[in-house]
Amino acid sequence: LLKRSFSTSPSMNLIKNITVIGGGLMGSGIAQVAAQTGHNVNLVDLNIDILKKTESSIGASLSRVAKKLYKDKPEDGEKFVQDTKNRLKTSTDVTASVKDADLVIEAIVENMEVKHKLFKSLDEVAPAKTIFVSNTSSFSITEISSVTKRGDRFGGMHFFNPVPVMKLVEVIKTANTSEGTHTELLACGKAMGKVCITCKDTPGFVVNRLLVPYLLEAIKLLERGDASAKDIDTAMKLGAGYPMGPLELADYVGHDTTLAIIEGWYKRFPDNSLFKPSESLKQLVKDGKLEKELLEALQHLP
Protein backbone atom coordinates (compact mmCIF):
# COMPACT_ATOMS: atom_id res chain seq x y z
CA LEU A 1 0.00 0.00 0.00
CA LEU A 2 2.82 2.37 0.90
CA LYS A 3 4.55 1.93 -2.50
CA ARG A 4 1.23 2.39 -4.31
CA SER A 5 0.54 5.44 -2.14
CA PHE A 6 3.52 7.27 -3.51
CA SER A 7 3.25 6.24 -7.16
CA THR A 8 3.72 9.31 -9.36
CA SER A 9 1.67 7.96 -12.27
CA PRO A 10 -1.85 7.41 -11.05
CA SER A 11 -3.74 5.28 -13.58
CA MET A 12 -7.37 6.15 -14.44
CA ASN A 13 -7.06 9.37 -12.51
CA LEU A 14 -7.95 12.23 -14.85
CA ILE A 15 -7.20 14.87 -12.24
CA LYS A 16 -3.70 16.28 -12.60
CA ASN A 17 -3.98 19.90 -11.41
CA ILE A 18 -5.34 20.42 -7.92
CA THR A 19 -6.00 23.74 -6.18
CA VAL A 20 -6.30 23.56 -2.40
CA ILE A 21 -7.89 26.58 -0.73
CA GLY A 22 -6.95 27.06 2.92
CA GLY A 23 -3.44 26.28 4.13
CA GLY A 24 -4.23 25.49 7.77
CA LEU A 25 -4.06 22.15 9.53
CA MET A 26 -6.03 20.22 6.89
CA GLY A 27 -5.27 22.13 3.69
CA SER A 28 -1.51 21.88 4.24
CA GLY A 29 -1.76 18.09 4.68
CA ILE A 30 -4.02 17.69 1.64
CA ALA A 31 -1.74 19.82 -0.55
CA GLN A 32 1.31 17.87 0.63
CA VAL A 33 -0.21 14.47 -0.09
CA ALA A 34 -1.52 15.60 -3.50
CA ALA A 35 1.96 16.85 -4.48
CA GLN A 36 3.68 13.74 -3.07
CA THR A 37 1.55 11.60 -5.35
CA GLY A 38 2.47 13.44 -8.54
CA HIS A 39 -0.23 16.11 -8.86
CA ASN A 40 0.51 19.74 -9.67
CA VAL A 41 -0.76 21.68 -6.67
CA ASN A 42 -1.66 25.31 -6.07
CA LEU A 43 -2.16 26.09 -2.39
CA VAL A 44 -4.05 29.31 -1.59
CA ASP A 45 -4.44 31.20 1.68
CA LEU A 46 -5.24 34.74 2.76
CA ASN A 47 -1.73 36.13 3.26
CA ILE A 48 1.97 35.45 2.79
CA ASP A 49 2.70 35.02 6.50
CA ILE A 50 0.25 32.13 6.80
CA LEU A 51 1.67 30.56 3.63
CA LYS A 52 5.22 30.78 5.01
CA LYS A 53 4.12 28.86 8.12
CA THR A 54 2.31 26.35 5.92
CA GLU A 55 5.41 25.78 3.77
CA SER A 56 7.48 25.18 6.87
CA SER A 57 5.02 22.66 8.36
CA ILE A 58 4.80 20.84 5.02
CA GLY A 59 8.62 20.72 4.89
CA ALA A 60 8.78 19.16 8.36
CA SER A 61 6.09 16.60 7.57
CA LEU A 62 7.71 15.70 4.22
CA SER A 63 11.01 15.00 6.01
CA ARG A 64 9.20 12.55 8.33
CA VAL A 65 7.61 10.82 5.34
CA ALA A 66 10.91 10.67 3.43
CA LYS A 67 12.74 9.27 6.45
CA LYS A 68 10.22 6.47 6.69
CA LEU A 69 10.03 5.67 2.95
CA TYR A 70 13.71 5.97 2.11
CA LYS A 71 15.40 4.96 5.34
CA ASP A 72 18.14 3.04 3.47
CA LYS A 73 18.50 5.59 0.65
CA PRO A 74 18.58 9.12 2.11
CA GLU A 75 19.60 10.63 -1.25
CA ASP A 76 16.39 9.27 -2.82
CA GLY A 77 14.54 10.75 0.13
CA GLU A 78 16.04 14.18 -0.60
CA LYS A 79 14.98 13.89 -4.24
CA PHE A 80 11.44 12.89 -3.17
CA VAL A 81 11.21 15.98 -0.93
CA GLN A 82 12.56 18.29 -3.64
CA ASP A 83 10.33 16.84 -6.40
CA THR A 84 7.29 17.21 -4.14
CA LYS A 85 8.17 20.82 -3.31
CA ASN A 86 8.64 21.57 -7.02
CA ARG A 87 5.08 20.42 -7.71
CA LEU A 88 3.62 22.60 -4.97
CA LYS A 89 3.10 26.36 -5.55
CA THR A 90 1.60 28.74 -3.00
CA SER A 91 -0.40 31.87 -3.73
CA THR A 92 -2.83 34.42 -2.33
CA ASP A 93 -4.51 34.90 -5.72
CA VAL A 94 -7.57 32.65 -5.87
CA THR A 95 -8.55 33.60 -9.42
CA ALA A 96 -5.15 32.83 -10.96
CA SER A 97 -4.79 29.62 -8.96
CA VAL A 98 -7.94 27.97 -10.37
CA LYS A 99 -7.28 28.89 -14.04
CA ASP A 100 -6.04 25.37 -14.96
CA ALA A 101 -7.54 23.41 -12.06
CA ASP A 102 -9.13 20.01 -12.67
CA LEU A 103 -10.15 19.90 -9.01
CA VAL A 104 -10.56 22.53 -6.27
CA ILE A 105 -10.44 21.22 -2.68
CA GLU A 106 -11.78 23.73 -0.15
CA ALA A 107 -10.35 23.49 3.39
CA ILE A 108 -11.10 26.90 4.88
CA VAL A 109 -12.76 27.81 8.16
CA GLU A 110 -15.97 25.89 9.11
CA ASN A 111 -18.32 28.83 8.51
CA MET A 112 -21.14 28.52 5.97
CA GLU A 113 -21.21 32.21 5.07
CA VAL A 114 -17.48 32.28 4.37
CA LYS A 115 -17.64 29.04 2.36
CA HIS A 116 -20.59 30.39 0.32
CA LYS A 117 -18.74 33.61 -0.46
CA LEU A 118 -15.70 31.66 -1.63
CA PHE A 119 -17.60 29.16 -3.82
CA LYS A 120 -19.78 31.84 -5.39
CA SER A 121 -16.70 33.72 -6.58
CA LEU A 122 -14.87 30.52 -7.58
CA ASP A 123 -17.82 29.41 -9.70
CA GLU A 124 -17.52 32.59 -11.75
CA VAL A 125 -13.80 32.26 -12.48
CA ALA A 126 -13.05 28.52 -12.64
CA PRO A 127 -13.29 26.67 -15.99
CA ALA A 128 -16.52 24.73 -16.59
CA LYS A 129 -14.66 21.38 -16.36
CA THR A 130 -13.35 22.06 -12.84
CA ILE A 131 -14.78 19.86 -10.08
CA PHE A 132 -15.31 21.47 -6.66
CA VAL A 133 -15.16 19.60 -3.34
CA SER A 134 -15.35 20.66 0.28
CA ASN A 135 -13.44 19.03 3.15
CA THR A 136 -16.12 20.18 5.63
CA SER A 137 -16.39 18.20 8.89
CA SER A 138 -20.06 18.79 9.52
CA PHE A 139 -21.88 20.91 6.94
CA SER A 140 -24.18 19.71 4.19
CA ILE A 141 -22.34 19.55 0.86
CA THR A 142 -25.64 20.26 -0.92
CA GLU A 143 -26.04 23.48 1.06
CA ILE A 144 -22.44 24.56 0.39
CA SER A 145 -22.85 23.87 -3.34
CA SER A 146 -26.18 25.72 -3.58
CA VAL A 147 -24.47 29.03 -4.44
CA THR A 148 -22.84 27.51 -7.56
CA LYS A 149 -24.20 26.48 -10.94
CA ARG A 150 -22.22 23.24 -10.95
CA GLY A 151 -24.07 20.93 -8.53
CA ASP A 152 -23.28 18.01 -10.86
CA ARG A 153 -19.55 18.75 -10.56
CA PHE A 154 -19.61 19.27 -6.79
CA GLY A 155 -19.00 16.70 -4.05
CA GLY A 156 -17.22 16.16 -0.77
CA MET A 157 -13.76 14.78 -0.04
CA HIS A 158 -13.36 14.47 3.72
CA PHE A 159 -9.76 13.87 4.86
CA PHE A 160 -8.57 13.09 8.40
CA ASN A 161 -5.97 14.65 10.66
CA PRO A 162 -3.01 14.08 10.29
CA VAL A 163 -3.62 13.84 6.53
CA PRO A 164 -0.19 12.39 5.62
CA VAL A 165 -0.83 9.48 7.99
CA MET A 166 -4.59 8.79 8.03
CA LYS A 167 -5.49 6.50 5.13
CA LEU A 168 -9.20 7.28 4.72
CA VAL A 169 -11.06 9.72 2.50
CA GLU A 170 -14.85 9.89 2.65
CA VAL A 171 -16.15 10.75 -0.82
CA ILE A 172 -19.55 12.40 -0.54
CA LYS A 173 -22.14 12.11 -3.27
CA THR A 174 -25.07 14.50 -3.09
CA ALA A 175 -28.33 14.01 -4.99
CA ASN A 176 -26.89 16.34 -7.65
CA THR A 177 -23.33 14.96 -7.95
CA SER A 178 -23.06 13.17 -11.31
CA GLU A 179 -21.84 9.57 -11.57
CA GLY A 180 -18.91 10.81 -13.67
CA THR A 181 -17.83 13.31 -11.01
CA HIS A 182 -18.14 10.72 -8.26
CA THR A 183 -16.05 8.20 -10.23
CA GLU A 184 -13.36 10.84 -10.85
CA LEU A 185 -13.23 11.73 -7.15
CA LEU A 186 -12.85 8.09 -6.14
CA ALA A 187 -10.01 7.66 -8.67
CA CYS A 188 -8.34 10.84 -7.44
CA GLY A 189 -8.56 9.77 -3.77
CA LYS A 190 -7.01 6.43 -4.72
CA ALA A 191 -4.26 8.16 -6.71
CA MET A 192 -3.52 10.19 -3.57
CA GLY A 193 -2.78 6.89 -1.83
CA LYS A 194 -5.97 6.86 0.20
CA VAL A 195 -8.69 4.29 0.71
CA CYS A 196 -12.03 5.85 -0.25
CA ILE A 197 -15.50 5.11 1.03
CA THR A 198 -18.69 6.55 -0.43
CA CYS A 199 -21.25 8.28 1.76
CA LYS A 200 -24.46 10.21 1.16
CA ASP A 201 -24.62 13.85 2.20
CA THR A 202 -25.64 13.19 5.82
CA PRO A 203 -24.48 15.05 9.00
CA GLY A 204 -20.91 14.00 9.84
CA PHE A 205 -20.91 11.43 7.02
CA VAL A 206 -19.70 8.15 8.62
CA VAL A 207 -16.70 8.94 10.81
CA ASN A 208 -17.78 12.18 12.49
CA ARG A 209 -21.37 10.98 12.95
CA LEU A 210 -19.92 8.26 15.18
CA LEU A 211 -16.81 10.01 16.51
CA VAL A 212 -18.12 13.43 17.61
CA PRO A 213 -20.92 12.12 19.91
CA TYR A 214 -18.32 9.68 21.33
CA LEU A 215 -15.92 12.54 22.17
CA LEU A 216 -18.77 14.51 23.72
CA GLU A 217 -19.90 11.53 25.81
CA ALA A 218 -16.34 11.20 27.16
CA ILE A 219 -16.38 14.88 28.22
CA LYS A 220 -19.79 14.40 29.89
CA LEU A 221 -18.47 11.28 31.69
CA LEU A 222 -15.62 13.39 33.04
CA GLU A 223 -17.99 16.25 34.02
CA ARG A 224 -20.09 13.84 36.06
CA GLY A 225 -16.94 12.62 37.82
CA ASP A 226 -17.56 9.01 36.81
CA ALA A 227 -13.85 8.44 36.11
CA SER A 228 -10.68 10.52 35.86
CA ALA A 229 -9.48 11.88 32.51
CA LYS A 230 -6.50 9.55 32.59
CA ASP A 231 -8.66 6.51 33.30
CA ILE A 232 -11.17 7.36 30.57
CA ASP A 233 -8.36 7.62 28.01
CA THR A 234 -6.59 4.50 29.28
CA ALA A 235 -9.88 2.59 29.14
CA MET A 236 -10.52 3.35 25.48
CA LYS A 237 -6.89 2.75 24.45
CA LEU A 238 -6.55 -0.59 26.23
CA GLY A 239 -10.17 -1.72 26.22
CA ALA A 240 -11.15 -0.73 22.71
CA GLY A 241 -7.78 -0.54 20.95
CA TYR A 242 -7.94 3.16 19.97
CA PRO A 243 -4.54 4.84 19.36
CA MET A 244 -5.61 7.86 21.43
CA GLY A 245 -8.15 8.13 24.25
CA PRO A 246 -11.22 10.33 23.55
CA LEU A 247 -10.04 13.27 25.67
CA GLU A 248 -6.59 13.31 24.06
CA LEU A 249 -8.29 13.05 20.66
CA ALA A 250 -10.67 15.92 21.50
CA ASP A 251 -7.59 18.00 22.29
CA TYR A 252 -6.02 16.91 19.01
CA VAL A 253 -9.10 17.74 16.89
CA GLY A 254 -9.54 21.09 18.71
CA HIS A 255 -12.35 21.86 21.15
CA ASP A 256 -13.57 24.80 19.09
CA THR A 257 -13.99 22.46 16.10
CA THR A 258 -15.86 19.84 18.16
CA LEU A 259 -18.12 22.49 19.73
CA ALA A 260 -18.87 24.13 16.37
CA ILE A 261 -19.85 20.76 14.92
CA ILE A 262 -22.08 19.76 17.82
CA GLU A 263 -23.76 23.17 18.13
CA GLY A 264 -24.56 23.17 14.42
CA TRP A 265 -26.11 19.71 14.61
CA TYR A 266 -28.04 20.47 17.82
CA LYS A 267 -29.61 23.48 16.13
CA ARG A 268 -30.70 21.28 13.21
CA PHE A 269 -31.66 18.20 15.25
CA PRO A 270 -32.70 19.42 18.76
CA ASP A 271 -34.43 16.11 19.55
CA ASN A 272 -31.20 14.12 19.36
CA SER A 273 -29.76 14.16 22.90
CA LEU A 274 -26.42 12.84 21.60
CA PHE A 275 -25.89 16.26 19.99
CA LYS A 276 -26.57 18.30 23.15
CA PRO A 277 -23.46 20.44 23.76
CA SER A 278 -21.69 20.18 27.10
CA GLU A 279 -21.91 23.42 29.15
CA SER A 280 -18.31 23.21 30.37
CA LEU A 281 -17.03 22.69 26.83
CA LYS A 282 -18.93 25.82 25.75
CA GLN A 283 -17.46 27.82 28.63
CA LEU A 284 -13.90 26.65 27.95
CA VAL A 285 -14.11 27.55 24.28
CA LYS A 286 -15.62 30.94 25.23
CA ASP A 287 -12.62 31.50 27.53
CA GLY A 288 -10.27 30.66 24.66
CA LYS A 289 -9.12 27.43 26.31
CA LEU A 290 -8.99 25.35 23.21
CA GLU A 291 -6.51 22.63 23.90
CA LYS A 292 -4.73 21.00 26.82
CA GLU A 293 -6.52 23.19 29.38
CA LEU A 294 -9.74 21.25 28.98
CA LEU A 295 -8.52 18.17 30.75
CA GLU A 296 -7.04 20.16 33.59
CA ALA A 297 -10.04 22.45 34.01
CA LEU A 298 -12.53 19.61 33.95
CA GLN A 299 -10.54 17.74 36.61
CA HIS A 300 -11.24 20.63 38.99
CA LEU A 301 -14.98 20.85 38.43
CA PRO A 302 -17.03 20.22 41.59
The site for ligand CAA (CB under 6 A) is made up of 61, 64-65, 68, 137, 160-162, 164-166, 208, 211, 243-244, 249, 253, 257
Whether residue 272 lies in the annotated active site: no
Interacting partner of 165 out of ligand CAA, ligand NAD, none (Cβ under 5 to 8 A depending on kind): ligand CAA
**137 included as an active-site residue:** yes
**Secondary structure (3-state) at 37:** coil
Q: Which is nearer to ligand NAD, 12 or 114 (CB)?
A: 114
Residue nearest to ligand CAA (CB): 137
Positions touching ligand NAD (CB under 6 A) are 21-27, 44-46, 50, 107-110, 114, 118, 135-137, 159, 161, 253-254, 257
What are the φ and ψ backbone dihedral angles of 209, each rounded to 5 degrees?
Answer: -65, -30
Question: Which of ligand NAD, ligand CAA, none interacts with 44 (beta carbon under 5 to 8 A by kind)?
Answer: ligand NAD
170 is catalytic: yes
- Nearest 5°: the CA angle 82, 64, 91 is 50
- Mapping DSSP onto H, E and C, the string for 9-33 reads CCCCCCCCEEEEECCCHHHHHHHHH
Comparison of 81 and 163: residue with beta carbon closer to ligand NAD? 163
Q: Of the candidates 58, 119, 128, which has an alpha carbon nearest to the alpha carbon of residue 94?
A: 119
- Which of 92/161 has CB closer to ligand CAA? 161
Nearest Cα residue to 170 out of 144, 190, 197: 197
Instruction: Please state, in angstroms and rounded to a whole number, the distance separating the CA atoms of residues 22 and 252.
Output: 19
Out of 106, 158, 248, 255, the active site residue is 158
Catalytic residue of the set 137, 138, 145, 278: 137
For the chain, the straight-line distance linking the first and the last C-alpha, in angstroms and rounded, comes to 49
161 is an active site residue? no
Minimum Å gap between C-beta 235 and ligand CAA is: 16
Amino acid at 55: E
Q: Which of 5, 110, 138, 170 is catalytic?
A: 170
CA dist 137 and 132 (Å) reads 16
The residues that are catalytic are 137, 158, 170, 208
